[in-house]
Structure 1
């Protein structure tokens, strides 16, 4: 009988140590969840975290863009330059095209070998983002 009580007590202590929190004040707050149209449940905190990761990566000038960028021979063909003049003087920099496809166009503004500014034109939305190498996103406008 003593063996059984000892085993039950030991098991209870073992299970209570595995499942509980030591300090209930350190408990994480409940994160609200959102049910999407297709029935998936997604945490709002997770969605917010993913958005901030996308934005921080999106508002940088990446070395890969610089490596693949081609010099612009005629800058007058790029409508985003008139909007970029509100934030900096494009003529002061060498302009290179990092990407130009039906969906978007990325222009880099180089000071020697270093990119100083970047414009991202999302063509189907008419959205222009202006990014500084040291300050990140400095302008966003519809064109």
Structure 2
């Protein structure tokens, strides 16, 4: 009798684990996944084919923490993202600060006094550049 109760309990536990409900953590990972097309362009699977899908909060904003830790740039000539930024604003009109520069990405802030006007995010291994306005949010996302 005890053996039957144990088997029934184990079966119930196993079946309840296989209900088909999606794990919220796995859903977030799948939404943030990217795919590379044959021509090398990086596309986000989360935004493809859906117009009303919500974005991650704060994804395309300039955060105060970035401003606090940003260091002034003495020679901006080595930053390839500046030529792409010229299409939207004149980088020379702003004080350029580096908020982050590591092997994976680089974040530049373009300061108008003490307020950040623009931000560029270069994801180096993918060659993906995002240009973000302090007022408008994301204004361009391109492969360079």
Deviation at 1:58, TM superposition (A): 1.7
Deviation at 1:106, TM superposition (A): 0.1
Give the structure-1-normalised TM-score.
Answer: 0.65
Map 1:13-24; keep pairs closer than 5 Å. Answer: none
Work out the CA distance in 2 between the residues paired with 1:117 and 1:41: 38
Deviations 1:10-62 (A, max 9, x none): xxxxxxxxxxxxxxxxxxxxxxxxx7xxxx8357xx659986342x4120000
Work out the CA distance in 2 between the residues paired with 1:101 and 1:134: 27
Map 1:14-93; keep pairs closer than 5 Å. Answer: 41-42=22-23, 47=28, 52-54=54-56, 56-93=57-94
**Residue in structure 1 matched with residue 102 of structure 2 by the alignment:** 101
| Residues matched between the structures, number | 102
Pair member with larger Rg:
1
**Residue in structure 2 matched with residue 32 of structure 1 by the alignment:** none
Unaligned stretches of 5+ residues in structure 2: 1-19, 33-45, 47-53
Give RMSD over aligned pairs: 2.4
Structure with bigger helix share is 1
Deviations 1:36-91 (A, max 9, x none): xxxx8357xx659986342x412000000000000000000100000000110000
Give the structure-2-normalised TM-score.
Answer: 0.64
**Residue in structure 1 matched with residue 36 of structure 2 by the alignment:** none
The secondary structure found in structure 2 opposite 1:57 is coil
The secondary structure found in structure 2 opposite 1:96 is strand
Work out the CA distance in 2 between the residues paired with 1:83 and 1:49: 28
